[in-house]
Amino acid sequence: MTGDFNIRDSDWDPNIQYHSIHTDEIRTIADSLDLKLATPINPGPTRFADNHRNTNSVLDLVFMNLNNVGFNKHVLNPDICLPLDHVPLFIEVGINKENVDISFEAIKKDSEEEEAFIRDIIKGIRNIDISELKNQTDIQRCANTFVTVFKDAWSTHSTTKRIMKHSKEWWNEQCTVCINKYCETGDVNSWKNFKSAIWNAKRTFFDQKIQEIAMSNKRPWDLMNWVRKKSLPAIKTIYHEGQPCNNLTTLWDALHISYNLAENRPINTRFLDGTNQCDIIDWPSFTKQEFIDAIDKCLNTSSPGPDHVTWRHLKSLISDKTCLDKIVNLANTCISVGFWLEHFKESKSIIIPKPNKASYNTTKAFRLIVLLNTLGKLIEKVISHRLQFHLSDNGFLDPNQLGSIRQRSTIDVGMYLTHFI
């Protein structure tokens, strides 16, 4: 960390007899990054006064890690400052070779690859034998076959995409062909063809986007500025228990402790002892229609879990009668045996900053989004719908319970506030 800090302080300038109030803040930031103030080999002023009333001063500072080979070895060279009033600083910094992965695997939406991806999954599920599912071992074997089908289809049809600051959603294959042609020839006509391809790609993309918003998801606010991507806030080093998290290990430990406080915590169920017990009822087998109804209102834009299968893909699988039969059979067996598959528990977590926070140096300033595999989420939805119907039909729900209940929303809360409070 180096630059013109424009702070005069006795800590680094012997001609100054006072301590600046900003120095402590600078040192706090440096400490959070595990950096210390470095001293040049030839100490001296780094800024020359432009008149006789002012004195030369030290304003340009260098903060480095103690283990860096260039610590306390940078040099001031006032002989080549030219017309500038600041002295150039020369420093040798040791940089570790590290490959930063800026690529990811993806399948373009509505592409031939996506159609082939869905076809391979349907074909693979059709070939799965689920006739002999009697115990946990059989269920796990069947689930492993599902996982293999998903992985094989993804590895076959996904392509590597590079993350770039100029990446655009509307860019298509024709744009790539035209820009490559222009790079080869440098011809004016090739450039015009490229600009025309861009115009056509944008027109097609945004026409489809507007059509989707107007007819499918009914979300006109997606076109507003306030729902577009927002610049991330400035992030300081995250502190946990008074210590800065300067590497992945300490950062992982801090996030893990913050978001998994309830892990392995014993659950006290004694509060249920005074509850009146109802008669035990049978759990009817799931029906195909329950799965069709549950997935019907799922958003196609939701992010997938580790298996890369989105709701759009799963809707295509459900539309195939053979695949639907096998998914329903798997769900019924899980309930009858009392076993929930590990595949349904697998997830990937995305950490995003909470908006409008004064500081982002604690784990509480971030929110965790957990993405589960969609097949397990679909079965959970079916179970949830059935439980809510049972609770409502038998009068187990309090009339004031509005949250997490189907066909109840903030509109009902507003009506309660208006008419009863």
Q: What is the DSSP letter of 409?
A: -
Give the DSSP H or E segment for 290.
helix 288-296
Classified as helix, coil or strand, 279 is: coil
SS3 239: strand
Answer whether 0.85 is exceeded by the pTM.
Answer: no
Label the pairing between strands 103-106 and 159-162.
antiparallel
Task: Look at domain 1-98 and name its CATH class.
Answer: alpha beta
Closest CA to 385 of 405, 355, 368, 403: 405
CA–CA dist 311, 301 (Å, integer) = 8
pLDDT of 228 reads: 55
Confidence (pLDDT) at 276: 78
Distance CA 404, CA 203 (A): 40
Look at the alpha carbons of 305, 310, 311, 317 in this order and tell me if their dihedral is positive or negative.
negative
Beta strand 103-106 with 89-90 is unpaired
Sign of CA dihedral 284, 285, 289, 290: positive
Which residue in 406, 415, 414 sits closest to 387, CA to CA? 406
The Cα–Cα gap between 225 and 208 comes to 19
The DSSP string of 160-211 is: EEE--TT--TT--HHHHHHHHHHHHH--HHHHHHHHHHHHHHHHHHHHHHHH
Tokens 């997830």 correspond to 347
Tell me the pLDDT of the chain (421 aa) as tens digits.
888 888 888 888 888 888 888 888 888 888 877 888 998 898 888 888 877 777 888 888 999 888 888 888 888 888 876 666 888 888 877 666 655 567 888 898 888 999 999 999 999 999 998 888 888 999 999 999 999 999 999 999 999 887 776 678 888 889 989 999 999 988 899 999 999 999 999 999 888 888 888 777 677 766 665 555 556 566 667 888 888 887 888 888 888 888 887 777 888 888 778 777 778 888 899 999 999 999 988 888 788 999 999 999 999 999 999 999 999 999 999 999 999 998 999 998 888 888 888 888 888 888 889 999 999 999 999 999 998 888 888 888 877 777 778 777 778 888 888 887 6
CB of 313 closer than 8 Å to CB of 118: yes
Contact 345, 380 (CB under 8 A): no
Task: Please state the φ and ψ torsions of residue 146, each to the nearest 5 degrees.
Answer: -60, -45
Q: Give phi and psi for 11, each to the nearest 5.
A: -65, -30
Distance CA 171, CA 372 (A): 30
Q: How far apart are CA 172 and CA 165, in angstroms?
A: 16
pLDDT for the residue 144 = 92
Residue 189: exposed, middle, or buried by beta-carbon count in 10 A (0-12, 13-18, 19+)? Answer: exposed
What are the residue ranges of CATH 3.60.10.10 in the chain? 1-98
Q: For the chain, how big is the Rg over CA atoms in Å?
A: 31
User: Please, which residues bridge with residue 368 across strands?
Assistant: 351
| CB-based contact 163:103 (threshold 8 Å) | yes
Neighbour tally for 75: CB within 10 Å? 13
Sequence-ordered list of residues with C-beta below 8 angstroms from that of 408, at least 6 positions apart, any chain? 402
pLDDT at residue 18, as a whole number? 86
Kindly give, in sequence order, each residue whose CB lies less than 8 Å from that of residue 404, ignoring residues fewer than 6 positions away: none
